[in-house]
Structure 1
């Protein structure tokens, strides 16, 4: 248990926070000033270091979980709702990336799939006139179908020609970006009628995702959809026959092929499911986060952040769920930390990158904390030279 993936993930986060604390102290002007008279008053330097680190992380907490400075609970809990708002698209996009990990694929095309989904859902959202509930459902389905088909191109090329999915998804990201950018500048497609700006018209009220806790909060019903999709993906991978075939192909495609599993079909199905899940992130961005109209930056880097979330969650649905909430807290609390303490937002990005670094190097974490190597995993090779005993006669 001490060397398992859960402990490794927790210690990776803690290690990244420790390194982040060092960076906060090193870059803080108050620490620099106190260090100038370290020989005369060393305690002032240590106090300045403590104040900078404690102030930064307390602001991070109050900006992402609960603000104790607010007199009422309803306003104090608002940072947590902001965390869940940021986490909602990250979770569902991370689920899409994690699913391809389990099949042995690497879907790095989240940006393109989100943009196509946003274009499809947005077009239905501001041009079609349907009854309230039906309009929202149709817009969501249009976005999911668009993102799934865009990712399905990768699956077909992988299955039929053996094309590498990483290269294909990267190229499709560029195609989707410039295609959507062109449609945003062209009347009759996505550009708002009578406008010269590369932006869509506002989404009709009948297609906007309702606020989950009322108008005073940004959290919308997309969060409930993400919870349902997390349960579905967990069931799909662990309880369904299709999920068993996904996992079998991911473990050993040659053995799966010998066992009668159509590996090429599994690649196509996996990319369709993955694209559909990532598409939900684009749909939530358009119909829930920015219903006033969107531009080509609607993806907000979520497609690439989803890879980090999937890695931290160990490609397991509930692991991805909580990893998404953690990164949502970083996003929500990072702005509060910058505003309250003047800490650069880049520090939060460094912490996120360090988490990925530590997650990708379990032997490093085990060596730092002297954890045992789980049974079945190869032990790290020692770099020390073997001692040669002297032979005496």
Structure 2
């Protein structure tokens, strides 16, 4: 089953690229040239690789959030709202508290993740206690989180009156890699003499990629190797059987949505503390929560699979932004990703395609054998 899922994912990616090629041809663009631009735009230079990794970090965590909930029988459509409240929590701690370096960043990360946990747990409580469908309630929580962010940015203590952003976080809360050193005189002098390191470190490279990879491994371990994971998956497979086995269904639902929210909130916190901290946060949706659903689907809801899936998605979107250099639209990448997800969501169609190719290969082999016999 796992092998088939992997093959279906690969087939869906190939079909997405092939159909994307047709669309590019119709628009008058050479698909080989376009894909070359996308690939080189994402991985062609050290700074491009750094930017791709930076953009992949929140996608790994929001993808994990969606995949974790799905593995426990729940649909977490609220990763965007959980991401937003996580970024709010990290901003408040990173801006208003005065703590020592390292400790400040860790506390801000934890608070942001816990804000996401609370946002997800509310959805779990609504489902467990009042039988509110988690899809509807999590969508509503997205909008509540978004407008809550807008409302909080109306307070002078948070909003920079000279812009539409909040104030930047304190430097002690930053989780950027060598952040202070890069802006010091010695750091600038060293990087000026080493272009390779300068290209790698100039993007906002942060410790988020390490946190995201560790989170993916931990979630995989929890789901596959622990009693908690067994209970949550059992509830997802069959609630009645799980309840008969002595598992508290309501608690499991709240735990599952809370953990999913924790992961998405952590993504928001990492973005604030590691990427956008110099300008704070804006009153806008960044879309990482929604993109996380695409990443989870490409990964087949496998926690470890979210890492390569997020890198693929980030590479396509970041590299695709450079398609304008050859006179075509970067939106083509969104079409390609959409086609991939469409095929992943239709396993029966992929079964038919697989059956067709198997039948065709057998027919070709039969024709070759007949030709040899006639000779």
| TM-score, length of structure 1 as denominator length | 0.82
- Distance in structure 1 (CA, Å) of the matches to 2:112 and 2:46: 32
Match among 126, 130, 142 for residue 161 of structure 1: 130
1:187 deviation in Å? 1.9
In the alignment, does 2:47 pair up with 1:60? no
Q: Secondary structure at the match of 2:309?
A: helix
Aligned to 1:33: none
- Quick one: distance in 2 between partners of 1:59 and 1:370? 34
Q: Secondary structure at the match of 2:277?
A: coil
Hey, what's the Cα distance between the residues in 1 that align with 2:149 and 2:93?
Answer: 15
CA deviations over 1:25-83 (Å, ceiling 9, x no partner): 1012xxxxxxxxxxxxxxxxxxxx6xx11110000110112x2xxxxxxxx33322221
User: Structure 1: which 5+ residue stretches go unaligned?
Assistant: 29-48, 68-75, 374-393
Once the two structures are superposed, what CA deviation does each residue of 1:276-331 show, in whole Å capped at 9, x if it has no partner?
A: 0001110111111111211122x411111111111111111111221111101112
Q: Equivalents in 2 of 1:286, 1:276: separation in Å?
A: 15
Contact kept? 1:115, 1:282, Cα under 8 Å: yes
Matching residue of 1:210: 176
2:257 paired residue number: 271
Q: Distance in 2 between matches of 1:348 and 1:359?
A: 17
Post-superposition offset of 1:358: 0.3
1:364 to 2:339 alignment: no
CA deviations on 1:182-203 (whole Å, 9 max, x unpaired) are: 1112223x313xx164321011
Deviating above 3 A after TM superposition, structure 1's stretches of 4 or more consecutive aligned residues are 212-215
CA deviation string 1:68-109 (max 9, x = no partner): xxxxxxxx3332222111111000111011111011111111
| Residues 216 and 2 of structure 1, relative CA distance in 2, 3 Å threshold | closer
When normalised by structure 2's length, the TM-score is 0.86
Deviation of the 1:371 alpha carbon: 6.7
Structure 2 residue corresponding to 1:219, chosen from 183, 189, 205: 205
Q: Does 1:294 align with 2:281?
A: yes
Name the CA distance, whole Å, in 2 between partners of 1:94 and 1:365: 23
Q: From 109, 134, 159, give the equivalent of 1:191.
A: 159
What is the deviation of 1:215? 3.5
Corresponding residue of 2:112: 143
Q: What is the aligned counterpart of 1:92 among 52, 58, 61?
A: 61
Correspondence list, 1:207-356, <5 A: 207-211=173-177, 215-292=201-278, 293-297=280-284, 299-338=285-324, 340-356=325-341
Change (3 A) 1:312 1:155: same
- Once residues 277 and 26 of structure 1 are traced to their aligned partners in structure 2, the CA distance between those partners, rounded to angstroms, is 41
User: Is the contact between residue 203 and residue 291 of structure 1 (CA under 8 Å) also seen in structure 2?
Assistant: yes
The alpha-carbon deviation at position 342 of structure 1 amounts to 2.1
Give the CA RMSD over aligned residues.
Answer: 1.8
CA separation in 2, counterparts of 1:77 and 1:199? 30
Q: By how many angstroms is 1:15 displaced? A: 0.1
Greater percentage in helix: 2
* Larger relative contact order (Cα-Cα within 8 Å, sequence gap ≥ 6): 2
Residue 365 of structure 1: how far off its partner (Å): 1.7
Partners of 1:291 and 1:284 lie apart in 2 by 9
SS at structure 2 position matched to 1:370: helix
Q: Where do 5+ consecutive residues of structure 2 fail to align?
A: 179-196, 359-375
Q: What is the rounded CA distance, in whole Å, between the counterparts of 1:132 and 1:274 in structure 2?
A: 28
